[in-house]
């Protein structure tokens, strides 16, 4: 597992000469990386190689095209020489850069190309899903829909050739211990330094020099650097404040979880707005207990963020008024930027606290169970809330500022760092989980108010967030391989599925349900022994026979 720490440099203490040299080095690396990207685009068909993790660019073959340095015997004097390669980058950049730095630029370009190819594959998968799930019966309408998608969602462009690509510098990922070193030196300025080697051309020869860069390490950076071994570093200049930063990548050794005979359990997480998260522990126990349900609320976050949003909205109205009357808006713009930055930092801080609490609870459960974590994946929820849908402006504002993807990414990262394998943390689609009864699986439900869900088929009354978390956990369990689950955990779930299929078959056959849509009272569910009105006595409904055949024989 790798952790990236963003460490600021004390560039205000560097001389103009050192800053100029740093600019020249990053510009040189950018030129070489772009040259490698051009070579990859031309020779891509000959460079793919099948590896354990899939198809990857063969770096050895790329070196044979660009950096081959095998000694050859040329001429009658038997002097060693270099072979002629197709793209001789040593001859092109050799006087200004070493071979190790060239290979680091090569690795950066290869990773950029792999990322681009993954986007192309995802684009192709989306295109295939659109063709597999047509929306219109008419062929021309369906063709127009696909053409509109193709024009709006174009195929990803290669690196440095995209339409929205900015002419910025590409940072080279330098290996610590070969071309970059981290030192601790006693100095009046700082104790932590970054040593960077580079070459200077002098006539027909070249000499190596060192560039010392002071690091501005805080207690957070020091604790992060102690978690593992630093591997690589990237020198990046921020486009916002024009400051220099060192992105240090650390290899963190995660504790391996040995295979145990602990019982299996699923932690289902339902993310929300008022309740930040609702966690339910699914175990073989017949009923949920109080300790199996956890509500994570953050009332301070709502109050703080709402206050900042009101201030920002007031300043935006004032800004529009000043622009209308052509007044100076410099002070208002500065205050808006400051408030927006404060709000973003506070939101990230509260999300960090929430995910830390959830991870601590999961770590305590790991002592008793083999834990799987199911997180609700909210996709397309913002598109369902637009102006004119009957919802308030406040509700739409809260929904659009809800950073559920960031919370999910933080959870996956922290749980992996805590030792939980990545395959045990799954993002489950959350469609219809808040409207479906977790007891019988019926969508025939109503919510008299936000926190309560009532099933009109089985009469169950469940807290709405707990019901959603239970459905999320059930989706994960049914998607897992049954051979990987213990039988005593899947058996109660199969019984629940059989009961759900029985009720579905009863509704299809016209059997009376315990409650109708218009009733105000909920009656107790029937035992199911009564004969249906639409079927003769002694016969089962055909739909019920078909549904019950799908139930496993072990139930």
Q: What is the pLDDT of residue 268?
A: 92
Helix residue spans in 94-238 (DSSP H): 99-132, 139-152, 219-225
Euclidean distance between CA atoms 398 and 380, whole angstroms: 15
Quick one: pLDDT at residue 520?
31
What is the C-alpha to C-alpha distance for residues 154 and 135, in angstroms, rounded to an integer? Answer: 20
In contact, 413 and 425? CB cutoff 8 Å = no
Q: What are the residue boundaries of the structural domains of the chain, listed by start? A: 15-152, 264-518
Q: What is the pLDDT of residues 379-391, one digit of tens each?
A: 766 666 666 666 6
CB 476 within 8 A of CB 428: yes
Cα separation of 351 and 169, whole Å? Answer: 32
Both tokens of residue 517? 């849509």
Which portions of the chain are predicted below pLDDT 70?
Answer: 69-83, 162-167, 202-205, 255-260, 286, 380-392, 395, 480-501, 504-505, 507-555
Q: How far is CA 533 from CA 514, 522, 541, in A?
A: 14, 22, 11
Distance CA 502, CA 485 (A): 24
End-to-end CA distance of the chain: 42
Output the pLDDT for position 71: 58
Tell me what pLDDT residue 29 has: 92
Q: What is the dihedral of CA 17, 23, 24, 28, to 10 degrees?
A: 160
pLDDT of residue 119: 87
Query: Long-range contacts: 305-309, Cβ < 8 Å, 24+?
Result: 305/343, 305/346, 305/347, 305/401, 308/339, 308/342, 308/343, 308/346, 309/343, 309/397, 309/401
In this structure, how many other beta carbons lie within 10 angstroms of the beta carbon of residue 443?
A: 11
């Amino acid at each position: 597992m790798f952790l990236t720490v963003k460490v600021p440099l004390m560039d205000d203490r560097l001389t103009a000469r050192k800053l100029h040299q740093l600019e020249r080095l990053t510009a040189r690396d950018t030129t070489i990386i772009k040259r490698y990207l051009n070579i990859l685009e031309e020779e891509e068909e000959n460079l793919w190689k099948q590896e354990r993790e899939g198809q990857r660019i063969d770096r050895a073959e790329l070196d044979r095209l660009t950096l081959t340095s095998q000694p050859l015997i040329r001429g009658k004097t038997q002097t060693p020489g270099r072979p002629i390669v197709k793209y001789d980058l040593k001859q092109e950049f050799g006087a200004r850069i070493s071979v190790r730095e060239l290979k680091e630029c090569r690795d950066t370009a290869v990773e950029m190309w792999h990322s681009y190819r993954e986007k192309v594959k995802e684009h192709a998968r989306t295109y295939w899903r659109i063709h597999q799930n047509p929306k219109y019966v008419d062929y021309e309408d369906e063709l127009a829909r696909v053409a509109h998608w193709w024009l709006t969602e174009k195929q990803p462009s290669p690196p440095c050739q995209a339409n929205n690509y900015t002419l910025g510098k590409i940072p080279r990922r330098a290996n610590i211990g070969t071309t970059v070193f981290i030192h601790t030196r006693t100095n009046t300025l700082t104790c932590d330094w970054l040593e960077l080697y580079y070459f200077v051309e002098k006539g027909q020869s070249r000499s190596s020099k060192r560039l010392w860069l002071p690091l501005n390490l805080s207690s957070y950076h020091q604790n992060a650097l102690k978690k593992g071994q630093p591997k690589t570093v990237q020198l990046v200049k921020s486009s916002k404040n024009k400051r220099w930063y060192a992105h240090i990548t650390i290899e963190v050794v995660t504790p391996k979880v040995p295979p145990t005979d602990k019982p299996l359990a699923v932690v289902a997480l339902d993310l929300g707005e008022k309740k930040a998260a609702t966690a339910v522990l699914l175990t073989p126990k017949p009923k949920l207990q109080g300790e199996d349900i956890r509500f994570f609320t953050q009332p301070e976050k709502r109050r703080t963020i709402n206050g900042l949003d009101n201030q920002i909205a007031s300043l935006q109205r004032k800004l529009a008024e000043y622009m209308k009357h052509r007044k100076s808006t410099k002070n208002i713009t500065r205050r808006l930027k400051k408030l927006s930055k404060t709000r973003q930092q506070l939101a990230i801080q509260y999300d960090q606290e929430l995910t830390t609490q959830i991870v601590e609870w999961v770590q305590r459960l790991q002592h008793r169970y083999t834990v799987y974590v199911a997180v609700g994946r909210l996709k397309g929820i913002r598109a369902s809330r637009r102006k004119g849908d009957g919802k308030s402006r406040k509700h739409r504002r809260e929904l659009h500022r809800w950073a559920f993807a960031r919370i999910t990414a933080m959870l996956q990262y922290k749980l992996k760092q805590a030792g939980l394998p990545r395959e045990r943390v799954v993002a489950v689609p959350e469609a219809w989980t808040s409207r479906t009864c977790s007891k019988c699986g019926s969508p025939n439900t109503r919510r008299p108010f936000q926190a309560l869900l009532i099933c009109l088929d089985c009469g169950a009354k469940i807290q709405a967030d707990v019901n959603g978390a239970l459905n999320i956990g059930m989706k994960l369990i049914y998607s897992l391989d049954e051979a990987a689950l213990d039988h005593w955990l899947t058996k109660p779930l199969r019984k629940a599925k059989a009961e759900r299929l029985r009720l579905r078959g009863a509704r299809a056959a016209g059997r009376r349900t315990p409650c109708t849509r218009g009733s105000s009272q909920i009656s107790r569910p029937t035992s199911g022994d009564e004969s249906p009105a639409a079927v003769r006595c002694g016969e089962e409904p055909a739909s019920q026979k078909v549904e019950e055949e799908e139930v496993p024989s072990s139930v």
